[in-house]
A and B are shown apart, each in its own frame.
Chain A
Amino acid sequence: MILKSEYGRRFPSEKSALNNRNPSNLIYKLGNAAPTGITASFHALWVGLLAEGRMRAKMYEIVKAEKLTPDVIKLEIKAPHIAKKAKAGQFIMVTPTEHGERVPLTMADFSPEKGTITIAALEIGKTTKELGTLKAGDNVFSLVGPLGLPTHLHKFGNVVSIGGGIGLALMYPVVRAFRQAGNHTVNIIGAKNEKLLIYEDEIKTVSDEFFVCTDDGSKGHHGFVSDVLKKMIAENKKIDLVYAVGPIIMMKVIANITKPHNIKTIVSLNPIMVDGTGMCGSCRVIISGETKFGCVDGPEFDGHAVDFDNLTSRNRRYMPEEAVSLKKWQGAK
């Protein structure tokens, strides 16, 4: 009925289109059925009805939603086209709703067989908290990927991979790929406490050597992941490559440890992005004094060349707005 009233209206205002959000969502759901063959005429009909609103027919269905910790959501999303092409180290851009922001998120897994990809997000701001409320059967508005360059895979020898916090989700497919490429995988994972460790079992299964660290000592080594790395270096353990993914400060510390020993170190960066396809430069990072785009030249870079302080500063650009957005959303809930 609302759609009918939109018909023939003179200059339907933007606002009226927004108010019709729910009925249109219904149409999107109908649109999920592939409009081919005998449904084609129905397709033409609803496509016609979409005219005044948003020109979108596709949404992406969540097949499984799971909380890994109280603040980490893991979502398995139907996206066969992405699952088929995804490689370790790549990311996707997700926009939860039509009003949402495009945010880059780690791909924690992908299965061409099941036609799904798995993302994990730390619920820290409005967008990720909103993702945290999604259940199986819900949809996300937009999902783009796989983006960024995949991890460079090669038989390096001894690869020490270090992950912290939400970085562990990305670390899992990367170390799995390192192992498949014939490397000896030494994996060090860390979190504030035992309860915040994610992907522990998965990473363990692809580890030749495995170390757990917690800041409070509730599990494994009482201290930082960097302590374990330092010890290995002190013991003259042969290390051919270090791979680090996690909080910026963790990656910076790791890079500073390996630099004097000339150990090649790859880090996976998480700058703020808008399109994620190389169009805007929101994600620019400084690598050996040169400007690079995190989205297309990365997300992985030589850890010894990254200007981490610039990245930290750039990632704080919109903190006041992020707080406003979160407050508004929490107020509305």
Chain B
Amino acid sequence: MADEPQQPKQPKKIVPKKYPMPEQDPMERIKNFNEVPIGQEAQTAILEAQRCLQCKRGPNRKVCTDGCPVEIDIPVFIKQVQEGNFEEAIRIIRQKQNLPAVCGRVCPYENQCEGLCVVGKKNEPVGIGRLERFLADWERREMKKGKIDVPPPTGKKVAVVGAGPAGLTVAGDLAKLGHKVTVFEALQYCGGVLVYGIPEFRLPKEIVHAEVDYIRRMGVDIKNDYVVGKLDTVDELMQNFDAVFVATGAGLPDWTNLKGENLNGILSANEFLTRVNLMKAFKFPEYDTPIRAGERVVTIGGGNVAMDCARTSLRLGCKESVILYRRSDAELPARREEVHHAQQEGVRFELLAAPVEFIGDDCGNVKQVRAIRMQLGEPDASGRRRPVKILGSEFLIDAQTVLIAIGQSPNPLVPMTTPDLKTTKEGTIAVDEEGRTSKKAVWAGGDIASGAATVILAMGDGKKAAKSMHKYLTQDQSWPAPEVFEKLSCEM
């Protein structure tokens, strides 16, 4: 970077706002599952890139790159976009990022790269996320899909358990270093939460498949329909592999444990989204898996998953989609953009309200949710103000479908079948800062190690672990003492 000629200083008038991203009209898009943002044209992308000041990191100045969990050289790729060198730009992204088309869509960039953008101090930040998306889409359309060159084989074999964001990142990074990677995935398609969780209108599955294909073309072997723990255990894998990365995610749905929760029509967000996304129930009966929304769908929860549920329900034809969240608008854990999209589409937000009981009809189907109004009290351990029930404020909402989107817990299968893998109270696998576990030559990352987080943080975990695994495979086989993990498993 230092070798590059300095941009001649010129008094530059900054375009204050991002160039608009064309979107499907809200009233139109709730009738289909097509992607909401349509994507930018090349000319718009170049103009957007030209809003970038190409600032350099200073001792007291953080820049975009500092906010990126996978450390993409953002100003460097943007410079290439400014000049229209899309091929070079995407090559620079690909050095650090294995799933650019995915992250260009689902990353919370407003809190990461764009949050640190210098332009963003007085204006709207440079649309880094949409540039990443543009380049990845451009690459998928325009570039040949041949084999991807990787260095000569190192002779080391790595097993990755779970083909979600963390697992695919490790697979891609280690393949780039010449290691032979085999990925074991339980479902019929790869992508983990990207294929079963995030809806088609936010992340078309065709894009995930293409990204997975890119990783396959680097020589990574992917075995679908393979449930590690039921087929080979981690211990058995270790007989054939030099290192194992466990990234089995937070697949276990949390429940409210309220009365009536097992009524028909009450689904976990996971079941609802898996039916619709992985199994394509929105195309029933063209696809065989059924789904039913009914007149009104009530979604319990306020995170990104809850927004996905509420917006998916609209597209399945419900008349009203209601979000029931126990805190206020300010505490909604979902990304602002998701909340905004849900509001645009007509999702009704019933804030400061929590369910008390689910009421069924004579046939065992849910018909109503009894809920109670809440007010915010003192801040709790999470720093958010604790919701407190307002006595006597109970009310009823009719619902044919209720979706429970209050969180997920770590998938217990691998910890259960790997006795010497230390876990925390929450059931996550205890890992050190490099992603190493209490079991030598086994790393873990993503939601199985961190609890339920975001796609990009899982990828950041994968990145760190891949670095550590490469070091272990090529130089230094030392491992932290068992006490380190004793401590980690108690602390968390």
Contacts and interface: CB of A to CB of B under 8 A. Distances in A.
A and B assemble together: yes
Contact of A314 (B222, B253, B262): B262
B19 interface: no
B402 interface: no
A281 interface: yes
Contact of B261 (A54, A55, A291): A291
Interface stretch (A105-113, A141-149, A162-170, A244-252): A141-149
A55 B255 contact: no
Interface residues of A, number: 60
Given A51-B210, A142-B188, A313-B264, A99 B286 contact: yes
A313 B141 CA distance: 49
Nearest to B416: A296
Contacts, number: 155
Interface stretch (A67-75, A175-183, A205-213, A322-330): A322-330
B190 interface: yes
Interface stretch (A6-14, A192-200, A226-234): A6-14
B76 interface: no
A275 B213 contact: no
B230 A147 contact: yes
A99 to B, nearest CB: 5
A304 interface: no
A135 interface: no
Nearest to A318: B290
Contacts of B206: 12, 14, 17, 52
Nearest to A283: B271
B226 A314 contact: no
Q: Which of B146, B226, B262, B280 has the most CB of A within 10 A?
A: B262
Nearest to B250: A279
A328 B285 contact: yes
Given A101-B279, A281-B270, A314-B264, A48 B190 contact: no
Interface string B280-305: 10001111111010000000000000
Contact of A279 (B219, B225, B411): B411
Nearest to B39: A11
Interface residues of B, number: 60
A13 to B, nearest CB: 9
Interface in B194-225: 196, 204, 206, 209-210, 212-213, 216-217, 219, 222-225
Contacts of A24: none
A44 interface: yes
B231 interface: yes
Contact of A147 (B188, B227, B285): B227
B364 A280 contact: no
Interface in B174-191: 186-190
A85 interface: yes
A57 B141 CA distance: 23
A280 B264 contact: no
Interface in B238-284: 251-253, 255, 257, 261-262, 264-265, 267-268, 270-271, 274-275, 278-280, 284
A127 interface: yes
Contact of A277 (B189, B227, B262, B280): B227
A82 interface: yes
A81 interface: yes
A317 interface: yes
Nearest to A315: B264
Given A48-B147, A325-B290, A278 B252 contact: yes
Nearest to B197: A279
Interface string A45-61: 00110111111111000
A321 interface: yes
A282 B271 contact: yes
14 contacts: A44-B146, A47-B213, A51-B210, A55-B189, A55-B222, A274-B289, A278-B251, A278-B413, A279-B252, A282-B267, A318-B290, A321-B290, A321-B292, A325-B288
Interface of B: 141-142, 145-147, 186-190, 196, 204, 206, 209-210, 212-213, 216-217, 219, 222-227, 230-232, 251-253, 255, 257, 261-262, 264-265, 267-268, 270-271, 274-275, 278-280, 284-290, 292, 363-364, 411-413
Interface of A: 7-12, 14, 17, 44, 47-48, 50-58, 81-82, 85, 95, 99-102, 126-127, 141-147, 274-275, 277-282, 284, 286, 291, 296, 310, 313-314, 316-318, 321-322, 324-325, 328
Given A55-B209, A296-B413, A321-B285, 13 more contacts: A14-B204, A47-B216, A48-B213, A52-B206, A52-B210, A85-B230, A126-B288, A142-B225, A146-B230, A291-B261, A310-B262, A324-B285, A328-B285
